[in-house]
Amino acid sequence: MHHVKMNELAKQIVDNIIQNKEIYNAEIFNLDNGSTLLDMTKASWIGGKLVGEICMGGLGTVEFSSYNLDGHYIPSVNVYTSEPIISCMASQLAGWNVKLKKEVEKGGQMKKKVIFQSLGSGPARAKSKVEKIFEELDYTDDSNCAVIVFETPKLPNEEVMD
């Protein structure tokens, strides 16, 4: 399993969303630095399902279901993976606090101001390995791409994506 490239698997899902953006109600933005952003805030249910599968690095499946609770049917989600350590701990876990600061002048002094901050989920975490958890995981992703899901209402700019 350690040779599997989660970023490439997740990119296949991203490519499917891009090709079918109307079906999934996705907005696509191409940045000058070559990054592609998918805004899934207004996505269809199936679009949301695919985001869940992207977060697991393409190694998991998300299915909609329901269960009966005292005669009431409650919607639920079933999540499956045969590689829980890699798909969850090295990808899905939103453990990367991505922060971009800029120096700004305030009151005659230069101060650092946060211009973007978000938790990052997805297989780009395994490629960057900036979190301590990767010292314990026996996994490396040397894909030629990186796929990350930001949990924020603000779209990242090119500096963040670099």
In sequence order, the β-bridge partners of residue 112 are 103
Specify whether the CB–CB gap between 132 and 140 falls below 8 A: no
Residue reference for tokens 């269809």: 44
Per-residue pLDDT tens digits for 110-160: 999 898 999 999 999 999 999 999 999 989 999 999 999 999 989 999 999
Instruction: Classify residue 160: in a domain, yes or no.
Output: no
Number of domains in the chain: 1
Indicate the DSSP class of residue 108. T
Instruction: Classify residue 1: in a domain, yes or no.
Output: no
Per-residue pLDDT tens digits for 145-157: 999 999 998 999 9
Instruction: Classify residue 46: in a domain, yes or no.
Output: yes
Instruction: Classify residue 126: in a domain, yes or no.
Output: yes
pLDDT of residue 90: 96
Instruction: Classify residue 162: in a domain, yes or no.
Output: no
pLDDT of residue 2: 65
Rounded CA gap, 14 and 44, in Å? 15
Instruction: Classify residue 74: in a domain, yes or no.
Output: yes
Instruction: Classify residue 61: in a domain, yes or no.
Output: yes
| Host domain of residue 44 | 6-154
Query: Which residues are CB-contacts of 72 (< 8 A; sequence separation ≥ 6)?
Result: none
The mean pLDDT of the chain is: 95
Cα separations in angstroms, 43 against 6, 24, 100 = 23, 6, 26
